[in-house]
Amino acid sequence: MKYISILGSTGSIGVQALDVCGNLGLAINALTANRNIQRLEEQVRRCYSVMAADQCPRYAVTADPELYHELKTALADLPVQVQAGMEAICEAAALPENDIVLNAVVGIAGLRPTLSALEAGKDLALANKESLVTGGDLVLSTARENNVHILPVDSEHSAIFQCIQGLSSPDEVEKILLTASGGPFYGKKQADLEKVTVQQALKHPNWSMGAKITIDSATLMNKGLELIEACHLFGKRPEDIEIVVQRESVIHSMVLCRDGAILAQMGAPDMRVPIQYALTWPRRAPLKTPPVSFRELGKLTFGEADEETFLCLKACKRAFDLGGLYPCIANGANEAAVTAFLQGKIPFLEIGETVCGAVDSLRPDGEGNSLSEILEADSAAREYAAKRFSGKS
């Protein structure tokens, strides 16, 4: 039996991952959440009501130490160890029984658990793209040193990964065609976006996801983060990656091979497919997914990403070119800006301006080879954003 810990189980990816684990009959070692301990309790209880006892979670962890007693009381009747705090989430990632860890935490909060899983020699199914964006070199070198795999869960990166499985060497890839839906504001210009509300930005045309990534999709920051993620995962430079808007999100990404052949991975927009592939790789297991009818679709619609309107995308490319800790700066500024936007404190367009402003004006110390440097750069970016929002920058 294969054992897994699911970090961020109460989120959009986490919930679908539990469904996939049920489908695959995996044993769940640990489930972790931030503050939604009600959902965490429900998830643990559901496991104990439908799964064999030896497949049920033995650890339930909240990131918030203040919720420890509440969670402990809630699960007192079950043979589950309750823990709290980031250290405990890292321990859940490193449990000796884990065969694989799924990291579906949102934001840079996922970086430490990513490193813990890799340091413990665990294969990592990675949804938390912010780990790679903020700590790319450190994450990759930790994976190499511990001889473990990072299996992409992000649908585009899973698609690229699936496309290259049949090649004799990754060098046969000339170019990556990273697809993007374009988000809810595709075709709009800056003047149209001045008064965008939180509700409008939270309406993604094709995917239902957590709030942060949904806003990232509306600003195209998500594509910028994914570009950096793809550079790290597949050893490419931004100029080797073309962003192709694919409005229906049916083509999840493509690779152009050096003989001119283009390989694409397609399917209905359903995250359970990349989640499951990361857990079963190199094999495929059955999964009931919505069918794609090309006859009903009639056509696939393509377009171009507009970097003049969506500043985040340009800022991410620039951050990657500057190298070192700049992607971490871009990410930290974005996390702060998205939180402020969701709280109604700043307008939509301020997100892109904040990310660009941080990348252009901050000069982070170090190359990003240590966790402390990365966390310092993240703090500097958040401070920059906070000053900007209070009008003091």
Contact residues for Mg ion, defined by CB under 5 A: 154-156
Part in contact with ligand NDP (CB under 6 A); list of ranges 2-10, 49-57, 168-176, 180-188: 2-10
Determine if 57 is a binding residue for ligand NDP (CB under 6 A).
no
Which of ligand NDP, Mg ion, none does residue 114 bind (CB under 5 to 8 Å by kind)? none
Residues 215-274 that bind ligand NDP (CB under 6 A): 271
Beta carbon nearer to Mg ion, 243 or 329:
243
Determine if 206 is a binding residue for ligand NDP (CB under 6 A).
no
Rounded Cα distance between 241 and 175, Å, is 6
Q: Which of 22, 184, 205, 210 binds ligand NDP (CB under 6 A)?
A: 210
Rounded Cα distance between 6 and 15, Å, is 10
The residues near 77 (Cβ < 8 Å, ≥ 6 apart) are none
In the complex, the smallest distance separating the C-beta of residue 16 from ligand NDP, rounded to whole angstroms, is 8
Edge-to-edge strands, sheet with 173-180: 262-266, 251-257, 173-180, 241-246, 302-304
Beta carbon nearer to ligand NDP, 22 or 210:
210
Part in contact with ligand NDP (CB under 6 A); list of ranges 3-11, 90-98, 142-150, 325-333: 3-11
Rounded Cα distance between 62 and 89, Å, is 8
Q: Which element (helix H / strand E) includes 376? A: helix 371-389
The residues near 296 (Cβ < 8 Å, ≥ 6 apart) are none
Burial 1-10 (b: 16+ CB within 10 A, else e): eebbbbbbbb
Paired with 82 in beta bridges are 60
Beta carbon nearer to ligand NDP, 6 or 377:
6
Which of ligand NDP, Mg ion, none does residue 41 bind (CB under 5 to 8 Å by kind)? none
Beta carbon nearer to ligand NDP, 35 or 144:
35
Q: Residue 313 burial (CB < 10 Å; 0-12/13-18/19+)?
A: buried
In the complex, the smallest distance separating the C-beta of residue 279 from ligand NDP, rounded to whole angstroms, is 15
In the complex, the smallest distance separating the C-beta of residue 64 from Mg ion, rounded to whole angstroms, is 28
Rounded Cα distance between 298 and 15, Å, is 32
What residues line the site for ligand NDP (CB under 6 A)?
8-14, 33-36, 63, 89, 104-106, 109, 127-130, 154, 207, 209-210, 212-213, 271
